[in-house]
Amino acid sequence: MQRTKRFADVVIVGTGASGLYCALQLPKDRSILMLTKAGVEESDSFLAQGGICVLREEADYDSFFEDTLRAGHYLNNVRSVELMIRSSRQTIRNLLDCGVEFARNGEDFAYTREGAHSRPRILFHQDVTGKEITSKLLASVRALPNVTILEHTRMIDLIARDGRCYGVLTEESECYAADTVLATGGIGGLYENSTNFPHLTGDALAVCLRHGVPLKDVDYIQIHPTTLYSQKPGRRFLISESVRGEGAKLYDGQMQRFVNELLPRDELTKAIRAQMKKEGSKFVWLDMSPVGKSAILDHFPNIYAHCLEEGIDVTRQPIPVVPAQHYFMGGVAVDEYSRTGMAHLYAVGETACNGVHGANRLASNSLLESLVFAGRAASRIALETDFPSKAEYLRLQPQEPEHINRYAGEIREEIERMKKSRE
């Protein structure tokens, strides 16, 4: 098969928040080629509801740090956690420069609280924070003359030789670059019930496995405790943890509370599943009415509208909720500059594992972690001076990998292998 040959200084695979932010932080004299498997707005970054954490003041540092470690069962990389928290204010300033708007109380930001947070430290935009952030990042990237975006373009392999990455192979093109950034999102497409887009099937993990690039903690998979119960197939609609942070309550089949709603996600999921098993039920109830009608319409209009389409008025009726796969804490192993085990190959966002989240992610740390370490990847790439010539690229002659259709199975096998290694 004759493929189109494309050349750039940097290839970024993925157009979610981390990929877009990385592109914006790179030097403007670098040519950047961005690829996305679906449309540019079909990334989980657009779906994030709750918000993005920030260090409000120095007095909150210790509690923010402890909340993150406690949620992660103290299996976090403490250096990565420190970098994330210390970089949070500058990251928010960069988002504001891109036109991102967060809720305010007068001139000051409004902050909300979610499960396992000891205090409110989460900035938000109604219940569509991910869409607000990612759409503004996308608009900023689209305004850059040095960036080209290719939609509906699937990466099928890395282009590599002698331990160095030279770009990626897609179904239609050979995309050559001095530096490559993997930002392909999570693995929700491997699960029957997930809040993720179904095309997110861990492609970056598969190609890294093929080339011996180390992965880390791939068995650390987060289940979100409250997604809207439905008998319909397809992606599950998430009921943000923020609603519980603002006062929503969980009830069993007899409309009795059975759990502390602000437990870390993994603990709350365990409690909900235990209650469902005890009752022989397919869901439990989430009551948003304690939040108040005005606050619901102001802070959670998207949840209100979606549930209303399902025949549920959340201002006066409880919501049937059930746990579903939501987030991937593991991924391609990276250092504090998002470098993988292969030279000139980086990984950011949910694709990467820098150890921030440990065994369980603290609510609303995902957007912050993704942006901070995407920015650190860009800062490192900016220092690179090794740019292969076109002749060097053309001598590589990459071949299409065999058994592409086995990628999903190989990832599942690696997850099971790592699970067994911990036993």
Distance CA 198, CA 192 (A): 9
Burial of 322 (0-12, 13-18, 19+ CB in 10 A): buried
pLDDT digits (tens, 9 = 90+) for 27-81: 999 999 999 999 999 999 999 999 999 999 999 999 999 999 999 999 999 999 9
Q: What is the mean pLDDT of residues 4-15?
A: 98
With vertex at residue 325, the alpha carbon angle to CA 319 and CA 330, rounded to the nearest 5 degrees, is: 145
In this structure, are residues 181 and 25 in contact, taking their beta carbons and an 8 Å threshold? no
227-241 exposure pattern, b = at least 16 Cβ within 10 A, e = fewer: bbbeeeeebbbbbbb
Q: How far apart are CA 342 and CA 168, in angstroms?
A: 13
Place of tokens 């504090």: 336
Task: Please calculate the CA angle 98-102-105 and round it to the nearest 5 degrees.
Answer: 140
Which residues, 6+ apart, have CB-to-CB distance to 92 below 8 Å?
52, 54, 123
- Considering the entire predicted model, what is its pTM? 0.94
How far is residue 241's CA from residue 250's CA, in Å, rounded to a whole number? 12
DSSP 201-225: --HHHHHHHHHT--EE-TT-EEEEE
Q: Are 373 and 24 in contact (CB under 8 A)?
A: no
Distance of CA 312 to the CA centre of its chain: 29
Q: Which of these is catalytic: 265, 339, 361, 376?
A: 265
Active site residue 70: no
Q: Predicted confidence band at 2 (pLDDT cuts at 50, 70, 90)? A: confident
Binned at pLDDT 50, 70 and 90, residue 192 comes out as confident
Q: How far is 324 from 47, CA to CA, in rounded Å?
A: 15
Tens-digit pLDDT profile for residues 199-241: 999 999 999 999 999 999 999 999 999 999 998 888 999 999 8
Please tell me the CATH superfamily of domain 4-220+329-421, with its number. FAD/NAD(P)-binding domain (3.50.50.60)
pLDDT of residue 71: 96
Query: Which DSSP letter does residue 87 get?
Result: T
pLDDT at 312 over 80: yes
Q: From CA 230, how far away is CA 301, in angstroms rounded?
A: 20
Percent above pLDDT 90 for the chain:
94
Kindly list the domain boundaries of the chain, sorted by start residue.
4-220+329-421, 225-325
> At the top level of CATH, which class does the domain 225-325 belong to?
alpha beta
- What pLDDT score does 413 carry? 94
